[in-house]
């Protein structure tokens, strides 16, 4: 027992934060990998004119993630964040390999790959829900924005990794290229599994289960000040005590009770808007977007995803630098406004100057990605991780993740269908309008969370619920 205790004490806070957020690599890799694999898959299986099948193959992971996020959120409240992250890594490894070895069965091949990628999506959705919750519960309030932003850095690093892998494998025979691109996703999943084996459980989950001694030990890894540890334990215990006194039984209806409704709508709304704003249309289809704009073959445009990936990584680092210097709401509103204009202006310019350079839209897409990378991309997951009260955090985080993936799935599914029936500029203008609606939503429905403890944020929601109850006309 003493040997185990000594071994546990060797866990550094840097190790905990690194592998606590490493699940984002899986999330990011699978978002990005199909970008390069798709042109080769289309040629290998003759899907060039099958927009619906292409949409389903691309979006199947997101469809599975809808259910993976909700399921993992509920199970993590019962079994813990750490165990569910380990399970997600195993599922990801298995179905990544099965994607890479998809049999060529004629017309049935696409349906096999769609089903396997849906099952893979269970793990991707679980990671998207579990990592923000785990990181927010481990990070101190004063650094929660920056440390939770590690999740976004991991996501975009996973995307950039997949883009680089796609580029390096593009000269292989078409059949081998896309299979290796998809199958190599098992490697980061294995790394995640081995790293998380040494991670401790969340102190808030441990306290909720009555294990105060272990919760204190975990906090001692990541908090240097004993007084801070005592204060944080006392704050968490007080919240848990209030929940027990109320004999609260959490259910789906609990999420939308007067006490929690305000915070749940805010968190789930931001998560949904992030995807309906259309970012993943760029990430999944940028080679095809450039092909449609310039006439060049999509398989020869695999440098563009790398450009987008570099912008995303740089943006995530910018975010970590500014995360705790600016209010969350300010960054979301500024970012959303610029993103909306970046989508709308190409349509306006094309309407005024029908002979505009076709690469103009790609330039504006780069501007969109730059602002998305340090505003909506990281802040969505920071808010999801910190805005929900302890009693409903797992279930509410799962719901937010599911709505996020519903948006991602729909964008991935309908974008190739939309661009087959209308100009690209018009499609992006629609997404631009959604960006502006997102700004309005943040302005009117989202509270500020920067610098507040998780317990203070819960109190904001409780107070707002009381105000609504006493002033229903507001």
pLDDT digits (tens, 9 = 90+) for 304-314: 889 889 999 99
Q: Which pLDDT score, from 0 to 100, does residue 5 have? A: 42
Q: What is the pTM of this model?
A: 0.77
Would 131 be classed as within a structural domain?
A: yes
Dihedral of the CA atoms 95, 100, 101, 106 (nearest 10)? 110
Q: What is the token pair recorded at 373?
A: 């990378």
Would 197 be classed as within a structural domain?
A: yes
Q: What is the token pair recorded at 7?
A: 């071994």
Decide: residue 15, CB within 10 A, 0-12 exposed, 13-18 middle, 19+ buried.
middle
Dihedral of the CA atoms 187, 190, 196, 197 (nearest 10)? -160
Would 3 be classed as within a structural domain?
A: no
CA dist 455 and 468 (Å) reads 20
Q: Which pLDDT score, from 0 to 100, does residue 266 have? A: 92
Give the number of residues written for the chain: 474
Would 77 be classed as within a structural domain?
A: yes
Closest residue by Cα to residue 199 from 298, 130, 265:
130
Would 4 be classed as within a structural domain?
A: no
Low-confidence stretches of the chain (pLDDT beneath 50)? 1-8, 246-247, 469-470, 472-474
Q: What is the pLDDT of residues 292-336, one digit of tens each?
A: 777 776 666 788 889 889 999 999 889 888 877 888 899 999 999
Q: How many CA atoms lie within 13 A of 424 on its CB side?
A: 20
Q: What is the token pair recorded at 250?
A: 């959490």
Total number of domains in the chain: 1
Would 6 be classed as within a structural domain?
A: no
CA dist 152 and 22 (Å) reads 10
Q: What is the DSSP string of 391-448?
A: GGHHHHHHHHHHHHHHHHHHHHHHHHHHHHHS-HHHHHHHHHHHHHHHHHHHHHH---
| Average pLDDT score over the chain | 82
Would 87 be classed as within a structural domain?
A: yes
Task: Give backbone dihedrals phi and psi of 107, rounded to 5 degrees, phi first.
Answer: -65, -25
Q: Which residue range is the domain that position 447 belongs to?
A: 13-469
CATH number where 430 lies: 1.20.1250.20
CA dist 127 and 89 (Å) reads 8
CA dist 171 and 173 (Å) reads 7
Q: What is the token pair recorded at 353?
A: 């100057």
pLDDT more than 90, % of the chain: 26
Would 258 be classed as within a structural domain?
A: yes
Q: Which residues contact 178 (CB under 8 A, 6 or more apart)?
A: 37, 38, 40, 41, 44
CA dist 422 and 83 (Å) reads 46
Q: Which pLDDT score, from 0 to 100, does residue 474 have? A: 43
């Amino acid at each position: 027992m003493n040997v185990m205790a000594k071994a546990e004490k060797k866990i550094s806070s840097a190790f905990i934060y690194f592998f606590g957020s490493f699940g984002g690599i899986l999330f990011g890799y699978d978002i990005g990998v199909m970008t390069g694999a798709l042109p080769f898959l289309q040629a290998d299986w003759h899907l060039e004119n099958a927009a619906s099948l292409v949409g389903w193959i691309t979006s199947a992971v997101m469809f599975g993630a809808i259910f993976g996020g909700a399921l993992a959120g509920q199970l993590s409240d019962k079994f813990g964040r750490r165990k569910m992250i380990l399970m997600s890594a195993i599922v990801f490894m298995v179905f990544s390999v099965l994607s890479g070895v998809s049999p060529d069965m004629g017309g049935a091949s696409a349906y096999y790959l769609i089903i396997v990628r849906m099952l893979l999506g269970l793990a991707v959705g679980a990671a998207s829900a579990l990592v923000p919750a785990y990181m927010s519960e481990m990070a101190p309030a004063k650094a929660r924005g920056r440390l939770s932003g590690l999740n976004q850095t991991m996501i975009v690093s996973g995307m950039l990794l997949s883009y680089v892998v796609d580029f390096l494998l593009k000269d292989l025979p078409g059949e081998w290229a896309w299979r290796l691109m998809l199958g190599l996703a098992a490697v980061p999943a294995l790394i995640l599994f081995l790293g998380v084996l040494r991670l401790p459980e969340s102190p808030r989950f441990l306290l909720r289960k009555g294990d105060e001694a272990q919760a204190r030990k975990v906090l001692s890894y990541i908090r240097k000040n004993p007084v801070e540890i005592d204060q944080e334990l006392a704050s968490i215990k007080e919240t848990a005590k209030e929940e027990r006194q109320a004999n609260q039984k959490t259910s789906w209806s609990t999420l939308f009770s007067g006490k929690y409704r305000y915070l749940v709508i805010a968190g789930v709304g931001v998560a949904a808007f992030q995807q309906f704003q259309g970012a993943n249309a760029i990430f999944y289809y940028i080679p095809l977007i450039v092909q449609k704009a310039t006439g060049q073959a999509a398989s020869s445009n695999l440098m563009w995803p790398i450009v987008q990936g570099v912008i995303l990584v740089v943006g995530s680092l910018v975010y970590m630098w500014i995360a705790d210097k600016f209010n969350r709401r300010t960054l979301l509103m500024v970012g959303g406004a610029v993103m909306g204009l970046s989508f709308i202006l190409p349509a306006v310019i094309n309407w005024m100057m029908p002979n505009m350079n076709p690469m103009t839209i790609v330039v504006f897409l780069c501007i969109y990605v730059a602002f998305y990378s340090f505003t909506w991309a990281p802040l969505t997951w920071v808010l999801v991780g910190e805005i929900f009260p302890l009693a409903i955090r797992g279930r509410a985080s799962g719901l937010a993740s599911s709505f996020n993936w519903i948006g991602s799935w729909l964008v991935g599914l309908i974008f190739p269908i939309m661009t087959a029936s209308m100009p690209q500029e018009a499609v992006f203008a629609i997404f631009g309008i959604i960006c502006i609606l997102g700004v309005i939503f943040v302005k009117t429905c989202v509270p500020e969370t920067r610098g507040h403890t998780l317990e203070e944020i819960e109190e904001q929601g409780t107070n707002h619920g009381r105000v609504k109850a006493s002033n229903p006309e507001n």
